[in-house]
Structure 1
Amino acid sequence: MVVKTAALATLLAVTASAWTVPSNLQTFYNNVKNGGCKSYAGGKSNLNDGQGHSGFGFCTDTANVVYLTGKNSLGDMDIDCDGASNCGGLSGDWQAGTSFDDILVSKKYGVKTLDASIHQFSVLGTCNLNLEGLISPLALVAVVCNNQLFYSVWGDTNGCDDNNFTGEASISLAQLCFPNEGLNGNKGHTAHDVLYLAFTGSDAVVGPSNANWKTKSASDFQNSLKTFGDSILTKKFGSTVPPTNPGNPGSGTCEWVGHCAGATCKTNDDCDGDLECKGGVCGGSSGSTTPPPATCSWAGHCAGASCKSHDDCSDDLTCENGKCA
């Protein structure tokens, strides 16, 4: 896997349909985005995010799923370029294989290893935390990012050189999630607002016939995961999956995927339709009276969050009278 210091030139962002987040999955996201997990895989709740923040772990509170969480947030998204192509041969920390290549070959998936530029995969587990007792290799992982849903597979793990880092995905998944952030091997998505929802059970494994593994297109691979992903999400999570809709749930339609309400922005031109850029986030229209929520690079540790010391606060905020300010 590639850590945040790997050298990698900017890649062209891939494009594919984004799936609307089902209402009960959105409710789950809202309920867990500020932490609150009680049971962690392996009893480990002090893993690192790769940005110097600890307190992360894989939560097992909810039946049929395991998800990455922090004390007061979800995960970030570092970039993985391991596998077949080395993201164009530009990574300085590339490994030629991914964690479950033996299964890809023995089960006749048609590929010898995953390609981070084509296959959307999530990186779960660390050097000191093996999740294979909870999640099957190549299991489906639903990823809620930037107010959208994408499907991925559990395709790699963090090695011992990464100091128990969490929150990582293949470059193709990262660029689908955040197409306007210019993500590459040197730049991951640092906000802790990504839900990696891995499904348990052997029936959640994305098999050779459940996706187009041989495709050369990242968008084709994502689209090929849709049918199986919807079926597992409904079976395991009880979601009523809406039809394909690259829109923003709860706010009508959004025609510019990645630029809907909640997407990061610099100017109004970065936002879909009549949405305005407020506080670095695409928010309401010019007639809206409700400002978008304040943002910072460490969700749950922004201005107003409870704290005990300056280290509990994001960015340049300090702890004043028990509150980040």
Structure 2
Amino acid sequence: MPTTTPTRAPTLRLGKWIHAALLLFHAATPTLCDSLFLLNAVPQNVNDFYQELRERAAPCPHSLAGGFYNIDNGTNTTSYCANDPHRPSIIYLSGVNGTLSNMDIDCDGVQGGSQDDGRCSLGRSPDYQDATAFQDIVQSYGVGISDLNTYIHPYVVFGNSGSKPGWKTFDPTDYGVKPLSVMAVVCPGNKMVYGIWGDTNGDDGDKPMVGEVSIALATACWGKNMTGDNGYDGMDLLYVAFTGIDAVPGKDGADWAAKDYDTFERSIQPLGNKLVQRITAGAGGRRVTSSWAVAGGVLAGGLWLAL
């Protein structure tokens, strides 16, 4: 008797396809013991600007201060740059020959809580301070926290202070950047994190350094291999600060008392989405358009989720 194809074969094929898709999703998604860190889609205008900087050989055309280091054994070719030297709306870090900045880990401020897994403990951070630069402002909000928590708040260390002879300094407030204002950090791999300006670089080291962030922000970009003594040395991260009081979420514009990174990040997303519209390509070189940015979604566990 001739054989016939079972009618359930399409169902079996569909089942195999679903199984394969689930395996792919599982491979791209953190395990249950990991936090599903929220990332933002990189808008096309931000991607164009990022690509422009990566292809620019010359220093930034509007340098506000230069002579800073990304790594101890590197060169002091990183500058604080502006889109306009007189009335800047953004200030960013940039080097030469397409370099931007690296990412070191700052453990300053409050530790502890459910997110503290020891990666930023005192013994792992060589320059730990028990307070951030704007602790008094955080306390003035009266929201139940005494300072920023490196495991929860995605803060950026921006600006340089110090009194050593010949020490390079830069105060972002001189150009309109306000403490605890929202910043944008573009990480390689189509990733963008909204953070806040939460600390400054001091003169406790041998050289004036830049490119430091909280463990929460570093984990969002690179995962839990980031620790207080293990950062990322690639010179391809973009840090952007925004000037003006409208970049400050204030007491009620952010969930300062959040118990985890994702909750805090979501609370500053609306303001961050508004601020990044200021970023435009063409100010410092040829306008470049790339296809890797995807707007209108978030990247979670390595997969784009449309909003």
Alpha carbons 2:107, 2:228 under 8 Å: kept: yes
Alpha carbons 2:40, 2:192 under 8 Å: kept: yes
Q: How does 1:182-193 map to 2 (within 5 A)?
A: 182-193=225-236
Q: Which residue of 2 aligns with 1:244?
A: 297
SS of the equivalent of 2:133 reads: coil
- Pair 1:67 & 2:92 matched: yes
Alpha carbons 1:34, 1:71 under 8 Å: kept: no
Q: How does 1:182-221 map to 2 (within 5 A)?
A: 182-221=225-264
- Pair 1:84 & 2:106 matched: no
Q: Which residue of 2 aligns with 1:287?
A: none
Distance 2:45 2:138 in 1: 33
Distance 2:103 2:80 in 1: 15
Distance 1:231 1:110 in 2: 28
Give the Å deviation of 1:15: 2.6
Distance 1:126 1:16 in 2: 29
Identity %: 32
Alpha carbons 2:68, 2:77 under 8 Å: kept: yes
- Pair 1:102 & 2:136 matched: yes
The CA RMSD measured in Å over matched residues stands at: 2.5
Partner amino acid, structure 2, of 1:90: S
Instruction: Judging by fraction of residues, say which structure has more strand.
Output: 2
Partner amino acid, structure 2, of 1:49: N
What do the CA deviations read for 1:47-68 (whole angstroms, capped 9, x no partner)? 1112322211110134410001
Q: How many residues align?
A: 236
TM-score (norm 1): 0.67
CA 1:61 to 1:233, structure 2 compared with 1: closer, same or farther past 3 Å? closer
Q: Which residue of 2 aligns with 1:58?
A: 80
| Residue 155 of structure 2, aligned match among 79, 96, 121 | 121
Q: Which residue of 2 aligns with 1:286?
A: none
Instruction: Judging by fraction of residues, say which structure has more helix.
Output: 2
TM-score (norm 2): 0.71
Q: Which residue of 1 aligns with 2:42?
A: 21
User: RCO higher in 1 or 2 (8 Å CA, sep ≥ 6)?
Assistant: 2
What do the CA deviations read for 1:123-177 (whole angstroms, capped 9, x no partner)? 1011222222121111111111022111000000011113210011101000101
Q: How does 1:1-325 map to 2 (within 5 A)?
A: 14-35=35-56, 36-41=59-64, 44-53=65-74, 54-62=76-84, 63-72=88-97, 73-85=99-111, 88=118, 90-92=121-123, 93-127=127-161, 128-134=169-175, 135-146=177-188, 147-162=190-205, 163-179=207-223, 182-234=225-277, 236-237=278-279, 242-246=295-299, 256=302
Alpha carbons 2:44, 2:295 under 8 Å: kept: no
CA 1:109 to 1:37, structure 2 compared with 1: closer, same or farther past 3 Å? farther
Alpha carbons 2:48, 2:280 under 8 Å: kept: no
Higher Cα Rg, which structure: 2
CA 1:13 to 1:183, structure 2 compared with 1: closer, same or farther past 3 Å? farther
